[in-house]
Amino acid sequence: MILKIFFIALCLYFLYNLVFKFILPVVRTARRVKKGFREMKEKMEQGSGGYKEGQTQGQAKQGRMGDYIDFEEVKD
C-alpha cells in the first residue's frame, strides 16, 4: 500500500516537472518567437512602402524608380 502511494506520488512529481519545467516554457517561447516574427514582418512591410503581396521587391522598386532591372552577375 505504501509502495503504491509512493509510486503514484513519484509519477505525479515527474509529470509536474515535465509540464511546468519543459512543456510550458517551450510553448511560451514559441509564442514569443511567433509574435516577434509577426512584428518584424509588419515593420518591414511598413518600411518598404507597403508593396502588395505577390509583388516582388524588384517590381516595387521598378514602380518607384522607373526602369529598374534587377540582375545577378553570373561567374563562369
In this prediction the pTM is 0.50
Instruction: Give the whole-angstrom CA distance, residue 21 versus residue 34.
Output: 21
Q: How confident is the model at residue 64 (pLDDT cuts 50, 70, 90)?
A: low
Cα 37–chain centre separation: 5
Mean pLDDT of 40-45: 91
The better pLDDT of the pair 48, 39 is held by 39
More confident residue, 61 or 44: 44
What is the distance between the alpha carbons of residues 61 and 48, in angstroms, rounded to a whole number? 10
57 is written with which cell numbers? 521587391
Distances (CA, A) of 52 to 42, 65, 67, 69: 13, 17, 19, 19
pLDDT band at 53 (very low <50, low <70, confident <90, very high): low
- CA pair distance 44, 5, nearest whole angstrom: 57
Judge whether 55 and 70 are in contact, CB under 8 Å.
no
